[in-house]
């Protein structure tokens, strides 16, 4: 059975999605189940025809009637076209009120019954048998329709799960690196150009997109299972109801013919198969073929435990939504946007300014072309808070002339090199001083872990107020 923890684990795909052969597809299993129904109905039709043929010499023909269905409770005849063990796979064992109880009960009944009537003969030959034959023909068409649904279960879920696993490892690695910088370590100059790639904020953007892509593939497959199982459940309900109706009529006609009917046949069937819900066999079949609970993928290691192919799913567990997923540190200040908005940055060589969308995180100031994080996920440039400090800002002159500036400069690191300066301007003093204060608060702290603790306290204080 699927557990709640599996349902929230991004890598615990709780539905079967790997099929090694055509026989493993649930459509094939379901088609074989309804083929087994056709074999059982054929046995029942055979029984009724034999019963009708012996009405005038009932005593002598009781053995024939017993043999028409006795193969289920005794040895399989050599010319039987069906493997009985295969049929038994799909139904409850004899003695549980299963459809398989019916032939066994009928066999014992005919050992006692020695009488018949013309009315029963007429009803059997003109109503019940034709209806059951019609039911078998309808089932054959339904079986072909079920097999044609096999393409609905072909999927790319293995590829998407592997991609999610890779991105989860990258995300956990990025969070771990940022969380362990407790001693004010500074990025080496050779790694500065690429260090932004390990910002949990950026990794999370890619992980968000991949999780939604996996869920889309997963939910498409879940919908295919749901459609198949609901259709199968309705079809089987119709079959059971039809059989219950016909055999109920048959039993009512027999009730006046012999005392064995009321003493044996009626109580056995009314308290068994006929007392069951139309879906009791179906529910048992699904419960017996639910996936194993050990179906999750290890996000850190390389182990990958797969479920048994050709099984079905528990529809009590609905398809997952993004909000159902649980990932450690997914709401950490390390991957949050502290402040974002449009700023203008002064050119390195010219006096002109260029406008961009800037995002301040626990580790970097990222510059993007646009504010759309779905399409624009890679920054144009990234400034590490470990390497820069804020020096100065424009005083408030009460004007709205887009001339309020603040300046960043590289921190001295003991190596002789030319200092790097970044100048930014905004459209108002309030906007500028907000950026200045947030950056100044963060760069004054020794490392990403300290900045994360600072932001956590500030968030808790804001939530309290």
Mean pLDDT to the nearest integer, 321-335: 85
Q: What is the number of residues in the chain?
A: 465
- What lies within 8 Å, CB to CB, of 65 at 6+ separation is 47, 50, 51, 54, 106, 110
Is a pLDDT exceeding 90 seen at residue 343?
A: yes
Rounded to 10 degrees, the C-alpha dihedral 304/308/309/314 comes to -100
174-188, 189-203, 264-278, range with the lowest pLDDT: 174-188
**pLDDT for the residue 269:** 87
Q: Across-strand partners of 409?
A: 389, 421
**pLDDT for the residue 119:** 77
**pLDDT for the residue 367:** 95
Percent pLDDT > 90 in the chain is 38
| Tokens describing residue 16 | 């079967």
Burial per residue of 135-174, b for 16 or more beta-carbon CB atoms within 10 angstroms, e otherwise: bbeebeebbeebeebbebbebebeebbebbbebbebbbeb
**pLDDT for the residue 3:** 67
Mean pLDDT to the nearest integer, 299-313: 54
Is a pLDDT exceeding 60 seen at residue 6?
A: yes
Is a pLDDT exceeding 60 seen at residue 80?
A: no
Is a pLDDT exceeding 60 seen at residue 426?
A: yes
Burial of 450 per CB tally in 10 Å (0-12, 13-18, 19+): middle
**pLDDT for the residue 76:** 47
Is a pLDDT exceeding 60 seen at residue 67?
A: yes
**pLDDT for the residue 462:** 59
Between CA 276 and CA 266 the distance in angstroms is: 15
**pLDDT for the residue 443:** 92
CA distances from 166 to 159, 272, 360 (A): 11, 54, 26
CA-nearest of 328, 305, 301 to 8 is: 328
Mean pLDDT to the nearest integer, 39-47: 94
The model carries a pTM of: 0.57
Percent pLDDT > 70 in the chain is 82
CA distances from 229 to 29, 99, 282, 318 (A): 11, 20, 10, 14
Handedness of CA 365, 369, 373, 379 (dihedral sign): negative
Is a pLDDT exceeding 70 seen at residue 423?
A: yes
- The distance from CA 50 to its chain's CA centroid, rounded to whole angstroms, is 50
Handedness of CA 87, 93, 98, 101 (dihedral sign): positive
**pLDDT for the residue 138:** 95
Confidence of residue 151 (pLDDT cuts 50, 70, 90): very high
Is a pLDDT exceeding 80 seen at residue 111?
A: no
DSSP state string for 56-109: TTHHHHHHHHHHHHHTTTSPPPTT-SS-HHHHHTTSPPTTSS-TTHHHHHHHHH
Q: Which domains does the chain have, with CATH numbers?
A: 14-153+223-288 (no CATH), 336-464 (2.30.29.30)
Confidence of residue 82 (pLDDT cuts 50, 70, 90): low
**pLDDT for the residue 436:** 94
């Amino acid at each position: 059975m699927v557990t709640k923890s599996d349902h929230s684990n991004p890598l615990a795909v709780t539905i079967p999605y790997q099929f090694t052969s055509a026989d493993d597809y649930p459509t094939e299993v379901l088609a074989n189940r309804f083929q087994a129904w056709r074999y059982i109905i054929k046995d029942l039709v055979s029984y009724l025809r034999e019963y009708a043929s012996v009405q005038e010499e009932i005593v002598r023909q009781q053995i024939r009637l017993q043999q028409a269905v006795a193969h289920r409770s005794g040895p399989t005849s050599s010319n039987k076209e069906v493997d009985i063990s295969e049929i038994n796979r799909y139904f409850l064992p004899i003695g549980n009120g299963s459809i398989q109880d019916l032939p066994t009960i009928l066999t014992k009944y005919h050992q006692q019954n020695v009488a018949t009537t013309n009315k029963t003969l007429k009803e059997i030959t003109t109503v019940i048998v034709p209806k059951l034959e019609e039911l078998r023909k309808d089932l054959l068409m339904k079986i072909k329709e079920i097999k044609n649904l096999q393409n609905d279960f072909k999927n790319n879920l293995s590829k998407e799960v592997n991609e999610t696993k890779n991105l989860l490892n990258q995300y956990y690695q990025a969070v771990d690196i940022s969380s362990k910088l407790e001693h004010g370590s500074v990025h080496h100059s050779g790694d500065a150009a690429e260090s932004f790639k390990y910002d949990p904020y950026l990794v999370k953007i890619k992980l968000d997109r991949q999780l939604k892509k996996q869920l889309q593939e997963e939910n498409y497959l879940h919908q295919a299972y749901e459609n198949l199982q609901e259709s199968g459940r309705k079809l089987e309900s119709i079959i059971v109801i039809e059989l219950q109706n016909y055999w109920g009529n048959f039993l009512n006609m027999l009730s006046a013919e012999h005392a064995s009917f009321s003493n044996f046949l009626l109580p056995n069937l009314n308290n068994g198969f006929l007392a069951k819900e139309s879906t009791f066999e179906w529910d048992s079949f699904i419960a017996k073929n639910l996936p194993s609970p050990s179906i999750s993928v290890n996000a850190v290691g390389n182990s990958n435990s797969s479920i048994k192919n050709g099984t079905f799913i528990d529809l009590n567990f609905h398809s997952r939504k993004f909000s159902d997923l649980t990932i450690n540190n997914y709401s950490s200040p390390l991957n949050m946007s502290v402040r974002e908005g449009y700023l203008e940055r002064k050119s390195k060589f010219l006096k002109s300014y260029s406008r961009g969308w800037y995002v301040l995180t626990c580790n970097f100031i990222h510059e993007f072309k646009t504010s759309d994080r779905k399409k624009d996920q890679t920054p144009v440039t990234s400034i590490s808070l470990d390497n820069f400090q804020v020096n100065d800002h424009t005083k408030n002159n009460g004007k709205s002339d887009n001339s309020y500036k603040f300046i960043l400069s590289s921190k001295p690191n003991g190596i002789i090199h030319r200092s790097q300066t970044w100048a930014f301007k905004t459209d108002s003093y309030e906007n500028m001083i907000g950026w200045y204060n947030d950056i100044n608060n963060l760069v004054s702290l020794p490392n990403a872990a300290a900045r994360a603790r600072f932001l956590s306290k500030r968030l808790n204080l804001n939530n309290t107020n």
